[in-house]
């Protein structure tokens, strides 16, 4: 299935779409098997947050976590950006610049505690079981800011060997 079909299936199964979110900041964390991006948003969205007892409860958060691979997948579907997707995934720190002020749509998939979960966008058969209810955030679309487009223009010049 392609990304649009997966998103349609998620929505059919009860996931929620939130449009018009703007990325204010990106933090990059290299984990053992992937690069995790923390996206600080301009608006709070539903999410599980820790209370004073360090228990997770449904609340509001303006930080969501996604993998760099999921960002790459969406960027590859944008004609003007596809050329840079592999470069950006190989240099994830550059995503904090390119995604600055980008507008995104997310799909929030609720996963109950104890349920086996497989990322619908992944070709891996690996499954995870969460010890608490969680919301998985999937990036459905990205509209880069003028600043992000400008930086990609510079990147394309550098990739072509032009002095910038």
Domain assignment present for residue 66? The answer is yes
- Mean pLDDT, residues 30-46 taken together: 95
Q: Is residue 35 part of a domain?
A: yes
Q: Flag whether pLDDT at 33 surpasses 90.
A: no
With a pLDDT cut of 70, the percent of the chain lying above it is: 99
In a domain, 47, yes or no: yes
* Structural domain count, the chain: 1
Is residue 107 predicted with pLDDT exceeding 70?
yes
Residue 69 belongs to some domain of the structure: yes
Q: Is residue 103 part of a domain?
A: yes
Say yes or no to pLDDT of 88 above 70: yes
**pLDDT, position 126:** 87
Asked if residue 73 belongs to a domain, the reply is: yes
Residue among 159, 147, 5 at smallest CA distance from 77? 5
Question: pLDDT tens, 120-150?
Answer: 988 888 899 999 999 999 999 999 999 999 9
Stretch 21-38: mean pLDDT, rounded? 95
Residue 164 lies inside a defined structural domain of this protein = no
pLDDT of residue 121: 85
Tell me the pTM: 0.91
Domain that holds residue 78: 3-159
Task: Please give the pLDDT value at position 164.
Answer: 59
- Length of the chain equals 164
């Amino acid at each position: 299935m392609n990304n649009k079909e997966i998103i349609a299936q998620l929505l059919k199964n009860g996931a929620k779409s939130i449009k018009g979110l703007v990325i204010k900041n990106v933090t990059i964390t290299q984990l053992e098997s992937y690069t995790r991006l923390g996206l600080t948003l301009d608006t709070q969205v539903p999410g599980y947050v820790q209370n004073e007892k360090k228990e997770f409860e449904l609340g509001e958060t303006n930080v969501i976590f996604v993998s760099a691979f999921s960002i790459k997948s969406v960027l590859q579907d944008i004609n003007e950006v596809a050329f840079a997707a592999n470069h950006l995934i190989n240099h994830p720190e550059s995503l904090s610049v390119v995604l600055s002020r980008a507008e995104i749509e997310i799909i929030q998939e609720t996963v109950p505690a104890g349920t086996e979960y497989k990322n619908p966008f992944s070709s891996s058969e690996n499954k995870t079981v969460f010890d608490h209810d969680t919301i998985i955030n999937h990036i459905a679309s990205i509209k880069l800011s003028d600043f992000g487009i400008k930086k990609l223009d510079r990147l394309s010049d550098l990739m072509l060997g032009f002095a910038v």
